[in-house]
Amino acid sequence: MKEKFKNRKGIYIWVILGTFLIFSMIFSYSKLHNSQLDYVYMHASWTYRYGDISELAKKSDCIARVIVKDDGISKENGLIPNTTFSVEVTNPIFKCENGDILKVYMSGGLKDKKIYEISDDPLMKKGEEYIIFTQKNADGTYTVLGGSQGRMQYKDGKISSLNIVNKQVKESSSSLLKLDNISEDTFVDNIKSYLSKP
């Protein structure tokens, strides 16, 4: 009888240890593979606030509807990281061709296992579509004018400014540009008419 009790006690201990080990492995695996990075939000003082689309268009070196092709490459340059995204032109509007791949430079990115992001100019994500107003940099990359001011969301043939459709931008942006569900054709026609005027 004592021997049976000893055997059962040993089995219970092994079952408890085995269960603990399995749960520890599951917890470690899920923590390792499902860990979400913390976000650090930065604030920027934009050197210039654009009053309207005409002003943005006339300051641009390239205007296009684009799709973001990757999650960007982050570099740590001093205190603030930066990220360069590849975007493909899907509707050329000014000084670009259909299918061109542009490298778009943004402030913010991955550093010390955290994502640094300007609060009113969130980093782009793979698959997102925008109409962008850009200036060409000396190294051949492009920068969107005025942060989120020069980047409009494209969805189902409609254009909206980020301070209308993106909660984070809406809460922290002081942009004067407010576009809500405007037809892409109308928007592009307006841009082209602005560019044709001196």
Tens digit of pLDDT at every position of the chain (198 positions): 555 555 566 565 555 645 554 545 554 444 444 458 899 999 887 778 899 999 999 999 999 999 999 999 999 877 889 999 999 999 999 999 999 999 999 999 999 889 999 999 999 999 999 999 999 999 999 999 999 999 999 999 999 999 999 999 999 888 889 999 999 999 999 999 999 988
pLDDT value at residue 27: 45
Q: Is 59 helix (H, G, I), strand (E, B) or coil?
A: helix
Q: Strands (DSSP E) along 25-100, which ranges?
A: 38-42, 62-68, 73-77, 80-94
pLDDT value at residue 15: 56
The model scores a pTM over 0.85:
no
Q: Strands (DSSP E) along the chain, which ranges?
A: 38-42, 62-68, 73-77, 80-94, 101-111, 114-118, 129-136, 142-144, 151-155, 158-161, 182-183
Q: Positive or negative CA dihedral for 88, 91, 97, 99?
A: positive
Tokens 């943004």: give the residue.
Answer: 106
